[in-house]
Structure 1
């Protein structure tokens, strides 16, 4: 395995973990909004933050030549790691 493929594999693993955390944070934010415990100003900030995170992830994937599917590890009988909406 050459240095570039090792770099790409490591980047894929790190970005997979970051994407998993991003999706979990998004779900938690939506749950808080649905429960009504968030002000309109907080909703706006959450939305902007989540959009910025998603954009940054897209830029990082492009930088390392990865797709969304590259980050979605196959867990065998459990199915894919990252649910896609």
Structure 2
């Protein structure tokens, strides 16, 4: 047994029967399986950290998309000088807020760039 209550090498999931199916443990040969066989045993601190990372990653993705859209509109001449100034200040403040939030949760900007396997990373590594 590990500190999280599962078997060594089983990870945070303890698998057996599908929840709510009576007798599935006996049919599958797993005597521990039963209605509550799918349980997530995890550290609350790890959940907080991972959830914070996910939320900040989504906010950073949206921030970068908005920034690229602003640059595109500026290049096309769709924005007035006043709008460009306002958007520039807003994006700078948002980037500062993201930096502060990353520091608060003990994350670096590279921690927000999720690896999507064969697709590469979520966030572009080059800045426009």
TM-score w.r.t. structure 1 length? 0.96
Counterpart secondary structure, 1:81: coil
Match of 1:74 in 2: 115
Matched, 1:22 2:63: yes
Structure 2, unpaired ranges of 5+: 1-41
Moved over 3 A (4+): none
Paired residues, number: 85
Matched, 1:53 2:99: no
Counterpart secondary structure, 1:74: coil
The alpha carbon displacement at 1:2 in A equals 2.0
Structure 1: distance between partners of 2:110 and 2:43: 22
Structure with the larger helix share: 1
Match of 2:37 in 1: none
Bigger CA radius of gyration: 2
Structure 1: distance between partners of 2:78 and 2:57: 30
TM-score w.r.t. structure 2 length? 0.65
The alpha carbon displacement at 1:3 in A equals 1.7
Match of 2:47 in 1: 6
Bigger relative CO (Cα 8 Å, ≥ 6 apart): 1
Structure 1, unpaired ranges of 5+: none
